[in-house]
Amino acid sequence: MTELVRTSTQVLEAAGWAAIMIAVAISTAAFLLRLRGAGFDASYRRYRADLGRGILLGLELLIAADILKSVVIDPTLNGLSVLGGIVLIRTFLSFSLDVEINGHWPWQRSFFSQVSERDGT
Protein backbone atom coordinates (compact mmCIF):
# COMPACT_ATOMS: atom_id res chain seq x y z
CA MET A 1 0.00 0.00 0.00
CA THR A 2 2.79 2.42 0.89
CA GLU A 3 4.49 1.83 -2.45
CA LEU A 4 1.24 2.61 -4.31
CA VAL A 5 0.91 5.86 -2.37
CA ARG A 6 4.54 6.77 -3.11
CA THR A 7 3.96 6.17 -6.80
CA SER A 8 0.69 8.12 -6.72
CA THR A 9 2.44 11.00 -4.97
CA GLN A 10 5.17 11.08 -7.58
CA VAL A 11 2.59 11.03 -10.37
CA LEU A 12 0.67 13.91 -8.76
CA GLU A 13 3.87 15.91 -8.26
CA ALA A 14 4.87 15.34 -11.88
CA ALA A 15 1.37 16.30 -13.05
CA GLY A 16 1.50 19.50 -10.97
CA TRP A 17 4.87 20.42 -12.39
CA ALA A 18 3.71 19.57 -15.92
CA ALA A 19 0.51 21.61 -15.54
CA ILE A 20 2.51 24.68 -14.59
CA MET A 21 5.08 24.23 -17.36
CA ILE A 22 2.44 23.55 -20.03
CA ALA A 23 0.47 26.59 -18.86
CA VAL A 24 3.59 28.74 -19.20
CA ALA A 25 4.26 27.47 -22.72
CA ILE A 26 0.66 27.74 -23.97
CA SER A 27 0.03 31.10 -22.28
CA THR A 28 3.21 32.56 -23.70
CA ALA A 29 2.44 31.32 -27.22
CA ALA A 30 -1.12 32.67 -27.00
CA PHE A 31 0.19 36.00 -25.70
CA LEU A 32 2.58 36.36 -28.61
CA LEU A 33 -0.18 35.54 -31.10
CA ARG A 34 -2.61 37.96 -29.42
CA LEU A 35 -0.11 40.81 -29.64
CA ARG A 36 -0.72 41.00 -33.37
CA GLY A 37 -4.45 41.63 -33.13
CA ALA A 38 -5.11 43.10 -29.70
CA GLY A 39 -3.34 45.84 -27.81
CA PHE A 40 -0.51 45.12 -25.39
CA ASP A 41 -2.52 45.90 -22.26
CA ALA A 42 -5.39 43.55 -23.07
CA SER A 43 -3.01 40.81 -24.19
CA TYR A 44 -0.92 41.19 -21.06
CA ARG A 45 -3.96 40.99 -18.74
CA ARG A 46 -5.14 37.84 -20.52
CA TYR A 47 -1.62 36.39 -20.34
CA ARG A 48 -1.46 36.90 -16.58
CA ALA A 49 -4.90 35.36 -16.11
CA ASP A 50 -3.98 32.33 -18.22
CA LEU A 51 -0.72 31.87 -16.32
CA GLY A 52 -2.54 32.20 -13.01
CA ARG A 53 -5.05 29.50 -13.95
CA GLY A 54 -2.25 27.11 -14.88
CA ILE A 55 -0.40 27.81 -11.66
CA LEU A 56 -3.59 27.28 -9.65
CA LEU A 57 -4.13 23.89 -11.27
CA GLY A 58 -0.53 22.91 -10.60
CA LEU A 59 -0.75 24.03 -6.98
CA GLU A 60 -3.90 21.97 -6.42
CA LEU A 61 -2.16 18.86 -7.72
CA LEU A 62 0.91 19.53 -5.59
CA ILE A 63 -1.26 20.00 -2.49
CA ALA A 64 -2.94 16.66 -3.18
CA ALA A 65 0.48 15.02 -3.43
CA ASP A 66 1.61 16.60 -0.15
CA ILE A 67 -1.53 15.45 1.63
CA LEU A 68 -1.05 11.87 0.48
CA LYS A 69 2.61 11.93 1.38
CA SER A 70 2.12 13.40 4.84
CA VAL A 71 -0.97 11.46 5.88
CA VAL A 72 -0.17 8.02 4.51
CA ILE A 73 3.62 7.81 4.23
CA ASP A 74 4.72 9.99 7.17
CA PRO A 75 1.80 10.25 9.64
CA THR A 76 3.90 11.70 12.45
CA LEU A 77 3.10 14.93 14.27
CA ASN A 78 6.11 16.57 12.65
CA GLY A 79 5.00 15.42 9.19
CA LEU A 80 1.49 16.71 9.75
CA SER A 81 2.75 20.08 11.01
CA VAL A 82 4.92 20.43 7.90
CA LEU A 83 1.86 19.54 5.81
CA GLY A 84 -0.15 22.22 7.62
CA GLY A 85 2.47 24.84 6.82
CA ILE A 86 2.69 23.79 3.18
CA VAL A 87 -1.09 23.80 2.79
CA LEU A 88 -1.34 27.26 4.41
CA ILE A 89 1.30 28.72 2.11
CA ARG A 90 -0.13 27.15 -1.02
CA THR A 91 -3.69 28.08 -0.04
CA PHE A 92 -2.59 31.69 0.40
CA LEU A 93 -0.93 31.59 -3.02
CA SER A 94 -4.05 30.06 -4.58
CA PHE A 95 -6.26 32.68 -2.93
CA SER A 96 -4.00 35.51 -4.11
CA LEU A 97 -3.91 34.18 -7.66
CA ASP A 98 -7.70 33.79 -7.70
CA VAL A 99 -8.14 37.43 -6.66
CA GLU A 100 -5.61 38.52 -9.28
CA ILE A 101 -7.35 36.56 -12.05
CA ASN A 102 -10.94 37.52 -11.23
CA GLY A 103 -10.31 41.04 -9.98
CA HIS A 104 -12.46 40.70 -6.87
CA TRP A 105 -12.65 38.84 -3.58
CA PRO A 106 -14.09 35.32 -3.88
CA TRP A 107 -17.09 36.22 -1.71
CA GLN A 108 -17.97 39.19 -3.90
CA ARG A 109 -19.96 38.74 -7.06
CA SER A 110 -18.34 40.08 -10.17
CA PHE A 111 -19.62 43.18 -11.88
CA PHE A 112 -20.65 41.15 -14.92
CA SER A 113 -22.81 38.71 -12.93
CA GLN A 114 -24.54 41.66 -11.21
CA VAL A 115 -25.26 43.34 -14.56
CA SER A 116 -26.60 40.15 -16.13
CA GLU A 117 -28.86 39.49 -13.10
CA ARG A 118 -30.16 43.05 -13.19
CA ASP A 119 -30.82 42.92 -16.93
CA GLY A 120 -32.38 39.47 -16.73
CA THR A 121 -29.89 37.89 -19.11
Interval 42-51: pLDDT, tens: 888 889 889 9
Residue 41: predicted pLDDT: 85
What pLDDT, on the 0 to 100 scale, is given for residue 113?
Answer: 56
Q: Is 121 exposed, middle or buried (0-12, 13-18, 19+ CB in 10 A)?
A: exposed
**pLDDT > 80? residue 1:** no
